[in-house]
Amino acid sequence: MSLPNVTRSTARAAFRAATKQVAQKQAVRSFAVAAGAAARPALRAAPAAPVMQKRGVKTIDFAGTEEKVYERADWPLEKLHDYFKNDTFALLGYGSQGHGQGLNLRDNGLNVIVGVRKGGHSWKEAIEDGWVEGKNLFPIEEAAQKGTILMNLLSDAAQSETWPELQKFITKGKTLYFSHGFSVVYKEQTGVIPPKDVDVILAAPKGSGRTVRSLFVEGRGINSSIAVHQDVTGKALERATAMGIAIGSGYLYETTFEKEVYSDLYGERGCLMGGIQGMFKAQYDVLRENGHSPSEAFNETCEEALMSLYPLVGENGMDYMYNACSLTARRGALDWAPKFEEANKPVFRELYKSVRDGSETKRTLEFASQKNYRELYQEETDKISAQEMWRVGHKVRALRPDRK
């Protein structure tokens, strides 16, 4: 029993088909369509509709700490169009974030162009998504020259590699935008030091670029953080906020470049990806060692978590999920949670230290500097897909009633 090889292109194709299907099921129009079409009739209307919320910028007490939150209602589409009427968004890179943010900007009726290596894989994917060479699709250098807001969404390693050439296009009056603090914070290793006469801002969606796109198409909107590294004009925070909404966010909260990259690298290595894979694998293996069947081990480890319990946590919180379960389950979870916390905290402390001292950055840049790094990554992810747990998962997911 084996899985098909899931490549970036097949994943992108599946995602494109899924978002198209979601869009066709939407009963509401995109909040970008009416104003976007009127402002720029040549641009494609959004496939679906983020619904405007009757809320605005506010200060909220988060468990005793007051924080300012910005919402979509603060920046209605007409205001975005007026604010960015003289700007050209040069989106450099068309990976996960470039794809999601670029399409959302385009569907919001804003003037956005894409810059990628001509003839490369991303160039072909951009064409598949409707970007047109010479109109809104250009080589990186040409797009950077044309843009007033340079959105550096190249991979972290590529940002370091291209910086010597790219920096000459970052001239006074332009804005330099990132969605990750990596290159700027770890400048000693990346060499990315922005010029002193431009605003440097960040809007970082709290999810993959595919989620940035799918939540926009569904009429919702991902939550994102915003930050200012350099404020030359005195309006950098305002511009970061407007950018965050323009790329499809539902609400925004403030952070710093440093805190964004520390929390991001820490989180994806921990509970978001690395930790959850390790926990799933350990629980599955112990069940199998004790004679449980593959399907039972997977259902009790992954399927129930992902399809039943985690959605409850996402919608209503852990306390709600506990109260929604049996007394037996609740008693056991309450007893064992502190033990898992005690066992895991030393690992998390080690992880955070490794992120903050630059060890994780060094590892990433050294690995990505290898010419065959993509193949090496694929080998490692192929090993995960070859694990019995995920081969079983492929079969279990196919049995879900909503799957054809």
Q: In what order do the strands lie in the sheet with 199-205?
A: 58-62, 65-71, 249-254, 222-230, 199-205, 175-178, 149-152, 89-92, 112-115, 137-138
375 annotated ligand binder: no
Residues 309 and 230 in one domain: no
Token duo for residue 274: 């690395």
The contacts of residue 249 (CB under 8 Å, 6+ apart) are: 72, 203, 205, 221, 222, 223, 224
Token duo for residue 165: 């050439």
What CATH number is given to the structural domain containing 98?
3.40.50.720
The whole-angstrom separation of Cα 279 and Cα 351 is 16
326 annotated ligand binder: yes
The answer to whether residue 263 sits within a structural domain is no
pLDDT at position 16 is 58
Residues 147 and 86 in one domain: yes
The answer to whether residue 311 sits within a structural domain is yes
The whole-angstrom separation of Cα 97 and Cα 91 is 10
Residues 192 and 242 in one domain: yes
The answer to whether residue 51 sits within a structural domain is no
Last residue of a domain, one of 229, 255, 281: 255
Residues 119 and 229 in one domain: yes
The answer to whether residue 5 sits within a structural domain is no
**Domain that includes residue 311, residue range:** 269-399
Cβ pair 149, 202 in contact under 8 A: no
pLDDT at position 403 is 85
The contacts of residue 269 (CB under 8 Å, 6+ apart) are: 275, 351, 355, 360
The whole-angstrom separation of Cα 402 and Cα 382 is 27
Last residue of a domain, one of 206, 221, 255: 255
* φ, ψ for residue 224, nearest 5 deg: -140, 155
Give the residue carrying structure tokens 């399907």: 295
Domains in the chain: how many in total?
2
The whole-angstrom separation of Cα 375 and Cα 389 is 23
Cβ pair 214, 244 in contact under 8 A: no
Per the annotation, the verdict on 394 as an active-site residue is no
The answer to whether residue 294 sits within a structural domain is yes
Query: Could you list the pLDDT tens digit for every one of the 404 residues in the chain?
Result: 333 344 455 555 555 555 555 444 443 334 333 333 333 333 333 444 443 434 456 888 888 989 889 999 889 999 999 999 999 999 999 998 999 999 999 999 999 999 999 999 999 999 999 999 999 999 999 999 999 999 999 998 899 999 999 999 999 999 999 999 999 999 999 999 999 999 999 999 998 889 999 999 998 899 999 999 999 999 999 999 999 999 999 999 999 999 999 999 999 999 999 999 999 999 999 999 999 999 999 999 999 999 999 999 999 999 999 999 999 999 999 999 999 999 999 999 999 999 999 999 999 999 989 999 989 999 999 999 999 999 999 999 999 988 86
Task: With 0.85 as the threshold, say if the pTM is over it.
Answer: no
Residues 101 and 247 in one domain: yes
Last residue of a domain, one of 204, 221, 255: 255
350 annotated ligand binder: no
The contacts of residue 352 (CB under 8 Å, 6+ apart) are: 262, 266
Residues 186 and 332 in one domain: no
Helix, strand, coil distribution of the chain in percent, nearest 5: 55, 15, 30
183 annotated ligand binder: no
Residues 138 and 86 in one domain: yes
pLDDT at position 34 is 36
Residues 226 and 133 in one domain: yes
Beta strands at 58-62 and 65-71: parallel, antiparallel or unpaired: antiparallel
Residues 289 and 188 in one domain: no
pLDDT at position 13 is 57
Catalytic choice (81, 99, 180, 229): 180
Residues 353 and 239 in one domain: no
304 annotated ligand binder: yes
Residues 277 and 160 in one domain: no
The answer to whether residue 264 sits within a structural domain is no
Residues 237 and 330 in one domain: no
The whole-angstrom separation of Cα 121 and Cα 136 is 17
The answer to whether residue 186 sits within a structural domain is yes
* φ, ψ for residue 313, nearest 5 deg: -65, -45
Token duo for residue 230: 């350099």
The answer to whether residue 284 sits within a structural domain is yes
